[in-house]
Chains A and B, each alone.
Chain A
Amino acid sequence: MTQTARGTGSDLGVGAGVPRPDGLLKVTGEFAYSSDLYLADMLWGATLRSPHPSAWIRAVDVGPALAMPGVHAVLTHEDVPGERFYGLEHKDQPVLAIDQVRYQGEPVAIVAADHPETARRAADAIVVTYEPREAVTDPRRALFDPGCPKVGPEGNLVRHQPVRVGTVPPTAEVVVTGEYEVGMQDQAFLGPESGLAVPAEDGGVELFVATQWLHVDQDQIAPCLGLPKDKVRLALAGVGGAFGAREDLSMQVHACMLALRTGRPVKFVYGREESFFGHVHRHPARMRYEHGATREGRLVYVKAEIVLDGGAYRSSSPAVVGNAASLGVGPYEVDNIHIDAYGAYTNNPPCGAMRGFGAVQACYAYESQMDRLAEACGLDPVEIRVRNAVSQGSRMATGQVIDSPAPLAGMLRELAAMPLPGSSCSPDLRALPGGVAQTTHGEGVRRGVGYGVGIKNICFSEGFDDYSTARVRVELLGDEPHILVHTAAAEVGQGLVTVQAQIARTELAELADLGAARVTVAPADTSVGSAGSSSASRQSYVTGGAVRAACVAVRERLAALRAEHPGLGPAELLRAHGPVEETREYRHRPTHPMDPLTGQGDSHVQLALCVHRAVVDVDVDLGLVKVVELAAVQDVGKILNPPALEGQIHGGSAQGLGLALMEEIQVRDGRVLNPSFTDYLIPTILDMPPMRLSILENPDPAAPYGLRGAGEPPTLSSTPAIAAAVRAASGLALPRVPIRPQDIALAPAAPAR
């Protein structure tokens, strides 16, 4: 039941519902993922990981592993050829642990063997003498207890970002306070970390890998290998989902080290359990909020303390803290703001990028607060949001003025006006909480409706030089015009390859209209300039912008040629002149750091809104939830590809549903308790309901085609909408996500409403 405002465009150009080239291959199981890479003479890599969240390493004996038949190399930190540390923003993470381990699962040694089983057994045969020590697992203690052991290089503070706007009065007519908690969510991509490193004749290495950003991998790998960058060449292998989890390195340096040491290709494929230790997760958060408002529900002030647990290494925690702070009051007009956002080092699993990136956690808290405020003011949840909604011209918490359309009030009204689904008196168990497990025939089931609003920054913020590069070549192949688009942008499943081709068709329509022009999007690799990361909902914007710029440059060259040779069509021109190729870098407008004391500054490129309404049925006796419907309104500026866009909104909403109801890496004393898809649950088709969508196209004049990044915003707002709906059904406060069955069924107080 999807309704979409269709974009315009030619059959295969921007706005058209062009099918993705990998779609059929993926649903038929034919798509070659990075885990399918194979060379006849390759070796298999395996990783020995720390069983302790915090320990000194007293000795490592690789002898028993080396003695095993079939083992070709066993390497430790002593074998790292170059720099021994890497990191996205700060090089604090050892390639292999040196004298200590700081989290459970930290790589200690690597093995290459002629069989994956042999490699794993050899890794198990390495003898490491650990001296376990106290693990720091409480982020508040890590930050605020001076007696707490230090996990990070200079202490346990990764970043503290205050936001200070106006003066927070001691009180307001209506004040609501709340403490909220968000559990550790995993990206749960289906294609585990994998890749193949092949030694090259020039002493370098070629790495085929599933990643989100080839060039930032290259920037980190080359120094660790002690090689110049041009000797570390990367090509994108088939990516089975990313969601932020492939921003940091996993097996990249390890595979290259083993390939260079053995002179053989080396392949790594993490197993599912290992994958849970092989990538960063979403930061768990503990948040204290205080909202002051007038009796009419106009916000007077917001105070917040947001503590994000970054785990053992820095990863992208500083930027995550920046987002939590700058977006910490949500898309609401507030004159007085006092926010302190902190990122902490602990001995918990490292956390970093995940879809929504710091905005998700804050959104859950501020939206929970808006509902409490609505109740305190006797207002409808939609009305309180409308009264405080930002619009074009509003100031964000950072002082940044929203300078493109932000029609939040209208979006909320449209959402609230959508018809509600009928009550579920269906005899089909699949329509009830618990599904076919038949926990109810309707007993204890109560309906609830909730709303959520989110605002997400699009592209990299805070002064980052965020650009993409595209090379476009037009030539005759077989006497037919052919367009080749080459970027290093990672197709991680979002449909970027399709969009690049659509842009080329639109911008070079002159050639396409010949009816014969074919468009090829070349495989992504490092032989072209950086495209930046497939994250922050930025690729359509930045790589889309680069492809468009390169196409425009090609078009202008062709126009100039035509002026020189009047009367020749594009094909004749290409025949006479030869290929026309242009490479362009595209940069979005510059951003600026947040003031370290006040948080002020134009730190974001673009802001995107999504609003959700959730309808749930809750079995209040058992605490089981059936999400009956999710409805969403999102403003994307310009629809590039309707089905791909809808897929992003459906997927983002599903990931938000997972966070609301089931997805949590359970960590106790620094140890992960559920590293499997048996016990880390992600929504199935019986959990994710049909969606009602309204997609708006209010263009951002600063962005290519007016587009607004779309992948992340739905992940923000679906979680608080579902939580609000469960609260409405149960009458419980539910200050934590995911909401567990016992949080509802064993709630201490009887339902109040």
Chain B
Amino acid sequence: MDFLRPATWAEALAAKAADPTAVPIQGGTDVMVEINFDVRRPPALLDLTAIGELGDWELTADGLLRVGAGVPYARIITELGDRLPGLAQASRTVGSPQIRNRGTVGGNLGAASPAGDAHPPLLACDAVIEAESAARGTRMIPATGFYLGVKRNALEPDELIRAVHLRPATGPQYFSKVGTRNAMVIAVCSFALALHPGERRLGAAVGSAAPTPLRARAAEEFAAREFDWSGATALDPALLARFGELAAEAASPIDDVRGTAAYRRHAIAVLARRTLTWAWNDYRGKAAA
């Protein structure tokens, strides 16, 4: 196996163009496990850890946060937790402290596992993935169009993930994940919610309950249509219940060793109701203040 270690982003893009089968590696928390288990044997690894700018984040001119593909979960929690609370909450549930020190959102996107913890908040927050290739330059891919299938994403063979672009939170955000133990667990299912009160809508996304992470579109449309976005009133229990049902209907879960399809559907409805309650209460509290 070749081990490529470019020193600059341009070199990395060139290397990927020269050998599109090279697998990018950042924290190694996913790629190394797969190699260890002999799940795959890439002909080459493309180590991106020497490229300093991948570990940076910045506020762009148009007010978006551009988070480099190499920013580890631990730094998202400590440095961006106030502006990206949903993603930070999801980051907090990833693995162990050691894994959070190494693992990255870029790696989560590259692996595109349906159980990846970062995906639901990216979807709920309308994140856009910045991909780049030596031949065609930069391409912006909305998260909603990024996940194509189980461990398949929209990247071209010669493309690398440069960064993720996210708007700083415009309202309350929550992430919830069900696992069979209280830490260090892969999602049985998960749910992310981001309120955008200024736009009188919310983003809602489901993880680990379908071949890909996905948005709960019907639930989002229901919320935009039916909720009292003035923030003057509490949500009627019937609205909450319906929102939970619509979120669960978005999923197409399976039975596997981590849980049953029926349980996943049930749990997503519970998580959707709860996160919405928390977010709505936060919003009303702020609206009243």
Contacts and interface: CB of A to CB of B under 8 A. Distances in A.
Contacts of A100: none
A120 B36 CA distance: 12
Given A437-B93, A674-B257, A745 B180 contact: no
B257 A681 contact: no
B182 A433 contact: yes
A440 interface: yes
Contact of A435 (B183, B266, B267, B277): B183
Interface string A384-418: 00000000000000000000000000000000000
B263 A684 contact: no
Given A434-B182, A439-B178, A439-B270, 6 more contacts: A271-B36, A437-B177, A437-B179, A681-B180, A741-B188, A746-B263
Given A437-B176, A441-B278, A684 B262 contact: no
Interface string A263-303: 00000000101000000000000000000000000000000
A679 B258 contact: yes
Contact of B37 (A273, A623, A626, A745): A273
A683 interface: yes
Interface string B46-87: 000000000000000000000000000000000000000000
B260 interface: yes
A746 B263 CA distance: 7
18 contacts: A434-B182, A435-B183, A438-B174, A439-B270, A441-B278, A622-B178, A622-B267, A666-B257, A678-B186, A679-B257, A687-B183, A740-B180, A741-B188, A742-B262, A742-B263, A745-B267, A745-B270, A746-B266
Q: How large is the interface on B (under 10, 10 to 19, 20 to 34, 35 or more residues)?
A: 20 to 34
Contacts of B92: 436
Interface in B221-259: 257-259
Interface of B: 36-38, 89, 92-93, 174-186, 188, 190, 257-260, 262-263, 266-267, 270-271, 274, 277-278
A673 B255 CA distance: 12
Given A674-B257, A741-B188, A742-B259, A434 B270 contact: no
Contacts of A438: 89, 93, 174-177
The main secondary structure of chain A at its interface with chain B is loop
A439 B271 contact: yes
A29 to B, nearest CB: 13
A618 interface: no
A438 B236 CA distance: 23
Given A443-B274, A662-B180, A674-B257, A437 B262 contact: no
A430 interface: yes
Contacts of B38: 120
A508 interface: no
B182 A741 contact: no
Interface of A: 120, 271, 273, 430, 433-441, 443-444, 621-624, 626, 661-662, 666, 673-674, 676, 678-679, 681, 683-687, 740-742, 745-746
A684 B181 contact: yes
A437 B274 CA distance: 13
Contact of B263 (A673, A679, A741): A741
B182 A745 contact: no
Contact of A684 (B174, B184, B271): B184
A453 B186 CA distance: 34
B180 to A, nearest CB: 5
Contacts of B263: 623, 741-742, 745-746
B276 to A, nearest CB: 12
Q: Which of B93, B174, B277 has the most CB of A within 10 A?
A: B93
Contacts of B259: 740-742
B257 A746 contact: no
Contact of B181 (A673, A687, A745): A687
A662 B181 CA distance: 7
Contacts of B36: 271
Contact of A681 (B175, B185, B266): B185
B178 A624 contact: yes
A565 B180 CA distance: 70
Contact of A439 (B177, B260, B277): B177
B267 A437 contact: no
Contacts of A437: 93, 176-179, 182, 185, 190
A609 to B, nearest CB: 29
Contacts of B266: 742, 745-746
Shortest 4 CB-CB distances between A and B: which pairs?
A435-B182, A742-B263, A686-B183, A437-B177
A435 B182 CA distance: 5
Nearest to B185: A681
A441 B274 CA distance: 9
Contacts of B270: 439, 444, 621-622, 745
B168 to A, nearest CB: 20
Given A439-B176, A621-B270, A741-B259, A626 B89 contact: no
B273 to A, nearest CB: 9
Contacts of A439: 176-178, 270-271, 274
